[in-house]
Amino acid sequence: ERTERKLDFFTMPMLGYSLLASFGGLALGKLGNFEAGERLLQKGLDNAQKIDDPIGLASIQCMTGIFFMQKGDWKSAIKHLEPGIKLAKKINYTWVEAFCWCCLGYVNVMAGNIKIGKNYSKKGLRLHLKSGIEMSITYSYYASGMVCSETGDWETALNYWEKALTISQKNNEKGN
């Protein structure tokens, strides 16, 4: 990225550059470097749009929403999670759609829209459970637990986090 040599390594339309740039942006945000992180996430979004990569774009919209969640910028988080939901639904990318709903729930709770946030979180978790995709359901349980903890429902939050932990341990034992 620093040398701007992406075409040396990613010459075909593919998820690689876009997704890796977005993970880098998310990591920079975790380190508190929001300005550089936002630039890198935007590069990932731009590239996914340029090469017409709907899977990458839905994933990156979700990651960008998470980036703004960690920054505490609820309005910008919503701006990315909502189109992530729409695109993921359109291409039947269920686990990303479900996780975006759960994150959108958390964002709304943090923005003071508690009833809406709880409903979105429940919708995401139900969607994920209905899909039968166990691989990433731990993320939806985690986000739903965060919604519950922020609204004072510690018993349900703990239940969700314990389910996430159990699934993670089970999958780890399989080598997944």
Angle at 64 between CA 70 and CA 172, to 5 degrees: 75
State how far the alpha carbon of 11 is from the alpha carbons of 28, 47, 173, in Å: 25, 12, 37
CA distance 129 to 123: 10
Residue 115 near residue 96, CB atoms below 8 Å? no
Residues 6+ apart with CB under 8 A from 133: 94, 95
Q: Please, what's the largest Cα pairwise distance for the chain? A: 51
Side chain identity at residue 69, one-letter code: M
Instruction: Return the pLDDT at 9.
Output: 39
pLDDT tens for the chain, residues 1 to 176: 444 544 433 343 446 888 899 999 999 999 999 999 999 999 999 999 998 889 999 999 999 999 999 999 999 999 999 999 999 999 999 989 999 999 999 999 999 999 999 999 999 999 989 988 876 788 889 989 999 999 999 999 999 999 999 988 887 755 44
Residue 131 near residue 95, CB atoms below 8 Å? yes
Instruction: Return the pLDDT at 113.
Output: 94
Instruction: Return the pLDDT at 3.
Output: 44
pTM of the model: 0.83
Instruction: Return the pLDDT at 136.
Output: 79
Q: From 18, 90, 24, select the one nearest 52 (Cα to Cα).
A: 18
Q: Give the tokens for residue 9.
A: 């390594």
Instruction: Return the pLDDT at 170.
Output: 83
Q: Give the tokens for residue 80.
A: 């990315």
